[in-house]
Amino acid sequence: MYAVTGNELRRRWCKQMGVRAASRVPRPLRCAAAVGWMLDCPRTGDFVEMARLAIVVVRDEYFHGGRTAVRVVGYRPAVADGEIQWFSSANTLFRKDLMLRPQPFARGMRIDLRSAQLLSLALRLDHRIEQGKSHPQRLRQATMKMPAVWAGFHRSVADGVIGCGPEFEALCGKFGMDRQAMLAKFRREHDGLVLFPLRWVNDDLGRATAMFAEVARFPVRQAVPTQLIENAIRDASGLGSQTRHADEARATVA
């Protein structure tokens, strides 16, 4: 997907961004933003360690002097006190402007042309915003989909993990299953670790080895209303992803 040369990316940028970048007239901010993700390692399955995942947000912002920037910001998601932080400013990886022509060895706001994965994704996300603008009704109804998060434990620890939380207890009661049976139903294995849904094992997170995002159904590119992104960033903890575990449980256990 990202096996493209610097020359190809340069041509793609000129075709997609060149006219906008050359204009001296401030453009109105687009009402759409886009969210995507990339890894700093090869993907080996449905689960990715959160320490290797970057959430990338593209949206318009006014820059000093009235210029419109196409901001490209990367975040490293993290778990703090049992809460998932998708867009925390403390976990910002980079902050770029796609309106600036990419150059090799670029620093600051300009994207390094050698960063093919980032530049390619940023251009695709900008294109996704343009597509979203063409379907305003669909865009207004769009919700942001984030991946489910799982806690990974060594096998020697996993058997002692105890499920907890109101959602977990409600599901156990609904389907007449004890805690260990419910955990066993949702137990997953990845890279030598045993994984459980994060929300269900909050009391044991101190014994977890790593946190994982389930990216199998996480859209690589999605357009959403800009206000939705702004609210998530302002909230700092982002949007919860675990509510869908309840729906999955109903379908799986049934």
- DSSP string covering 120-140, please? HHHHHHHHHHHHHHT-HHHHH
Domain count, the chain: 2
Are both 174 and 76 inside the same structural domain?
no
Residues 93 and 174 in one domain: no
Task: Examine the domain organization and report whether 45 and 155 are in the same domain.
Answer: no
Q: Which domain holds residue 181?
A: 148-213
Q: Pull the structure tokens for residue 176.
A: 């007449």
Do 174 and 53 belong together in one domain? no
Nearest to 151 by CA among 232, 224, 226, 79: 79
- Name the amino acid, one letter, at 81: D
Mean pLDDT, the chain, rounded, equals 88
Neighbours of 210 (CB within 10 A): 17
* 127 in the same domain as 157: no
Q: Tens of pLDDT along 60-101?
A: 998 876 788 999 999 999 998 888 999 988 999 999 999 999
Q: What is the pLDDT of residue 236?
A: 59
Looking at residue 102, the DSSP 8-state letter turns out to be P
State whether 99 and 196 are in the same domain: no
User: Based on the domain organization, do 136 and 89 belong to the same domain?
Assistant: yes
Least confident window among 105-109, 118-122, 176-180, 194-198: 176-180
